[in-house]
A = this chain, B = another copy of it.
């Protein structure tokens, strides 16, 4: 049994006690000075995390709403758009552009493989009129982090607008919005920010603003100009998800106390430990080596294992909640989230529970090799010496 759920999906992520308490506060006027101060602190803090001097806008929506804002503000019906994709969230971004009438040029890679910068260069050469390039930083569905710096460089060298889905990466995985030439980056409060879902963060470059003025898609709720105009008055155009703003403020303080460099290192360490644990238990890591995500690990199950039976047992007996596959990988994959308020002991608990469950499901005896592999990884023992 368990007294505290181990929420190990790739978002929403667990809320630290401090963040939970930050929401335990009376409601405030969203057009008053108290909210203005919170908005200013979130905006400034998020800018430091995004590594940008660009405008940073807050929208009350999921991350997908933030992505839709990018399409609605940059793309006109009939515009050619290049979507580089290698998983379900890349597909979603492409579908979003198509819903707005864009002529979507798909640069598609196998799930589990990264988008290749050279291929992006080539497709941009072949499509000189595609002004906007849609990239996914961390492909949550396959547990893969694309080589964003190189992809952004390829797109910027071809003088395109670089729009990045950073929903599940920003604040957990290194990104340099300005230095890498990213025009628009989007994240969501329920990921590494350690806050609940409800707010999307969107950074907008000067070049993106120039395009925004020209773009002719309908937009109102997601209109960036409105968001910017009201932000300058310390407000949002429409009533914001106030408790999530309280939580973002506290989560950002925690990120800065830990230090962004250490946050990145912790996520990398937890990813390596999770990978080691799952491999020791007979799982096959899904994403290509070298591109495995620091926020979510995807793995194919050992032969004979029913993924839904595993997830159910983990949940009911051990209080461990992990994700399954998405889209065409539904039921065929496990995905273990390790982003936000997660530490080494949490990985130990998850891998230990999976090991016990594998024995109960008659897949393999629980001989402690999972936890041993996690321990060795955390202690920095190279895999070869284990």
Listed in ascending order, the chain A residues whose CB lies under 8 Å from chain B are 4-5, 7, 9, 11-15, 20-21, 23-32, 60-65, 68, 71-72, 77, 95-96, 99-101, 188, 190, 196-198, 217-223, 238-244, 315, 321, 323
Contact check, A7 vs B26: say whether CB atoms are below 8 A apart: yes
Among the interface residues A27, A29, A196, which one has the most CB atoms of the partner chain B within 10 A? A27
Contact check, B243 vs A99: say whether CB atoms are below 8 A apart: no
Contact check, B244 vs A241: say whether CB atoms are below 8 A apart: yes
User: In the complex, A101→B217 CA distance in Å?
Assistant: 10
Contact check, A196 vs B242: say whether CB atoms are below 8 A apart: yes
Distance to closest chain B CB from A26 (angstroms)? 6
Instruction: Chain B residues near A61: list those with CB within 8 A.
Output: 60-61, 65, 221, 238
Closest to A23 in B: B23
Of the candidates B26, B68, B238, the one whose C-beta lies within 8 Å of that of A5 is B26
Given contacts A23-B243, A218-B100, A220-B68, contact A60 B197 (CB under 8 A): yes
Given contacts A12-B27, A27-B7, contact A239 B190 (CB under 8 A): yes
Distance to closest chain B CB from A296 (angstroms)? 14
Instruction: Chain B residues near A241: list those with CB within 8 A.
Output: 60, 196-198, 241, 244
User: In the complex, A221→B60 CA distance in Å?
Assistant: 12
The 9 A-B pairs of least Cβ separation, nearest first, read: A198-B241, A62-B238, A197-B239, A100-B218, A99-B220, A62-B239, A64-B238, A68-B221, A65-B221
Contact check, B30 vs A7: say whether CB atoms are below 8 A apart: no
Closest to A219 in B: B99
Of the candidates B31, B65, B101, the one whose C-beta lies within 8 Å of that of A60 is B65
Given contacts A27-B7, A321-B32, contact A240 B62 (CB under 8 A): yes
5 further contact pairs, Cβ within 8 A, besides A32-B321, A198-B241, A198-B242: A13-B27, A21-B24, A23-B23, A196-B243, A197-B239
Closest to A191 in B: B239
Instruction: Chain B residues near A29: list those with CB within 8 A.
Output: 7, 9, 12, 321
Instruction: Chain B residues near A9: list those with CB within 8 A.
Output: 29, 31
Distance to closest chain B CB from A276 (angstroms)? 25
Closest to A9 in B: B29
Of the candidates B4, B20, B238, the one whose C-beta lies within 8 Å of that of A65 is B238
Instruction: Chain B residues near A27: list those with CB within 8 A.
Output: 7, 12-15, 190, 196
Can you list 17 A-B pairs, Cβ within 8 angstroms, ordered by A? A5-B26, A7-B29, A12-B29, A32-B315, A60-B61, A60-B241, A62-B240, A65-B238, A77-B218, A99-B219, A99-B223, A100-B218, A190-B239, A190-B242, A198-B198, A198-B242, A243-B243
Closest to A190 in B: B239
Contact check, A23 vs B26: say whether CB atoms are below 8 A apart: no
User: In the complex, A239→B66 CA distance in Å?
Assistant: 12
Contact check, B26 vs A24: say whether CB atoms are below 8 A apart: no
User: In the complex, A96→B240 CA distance in Å?
Assistant: 18
Contact check, A4 vs B26: say whether CB atoms are below 8 A apart: yes
User: In the complex, A27→B197 CA distance in Å?
Assistant: 10
Instruction: Chain B residues near A100: list those with CB within 8 A.
Output: 218, 220
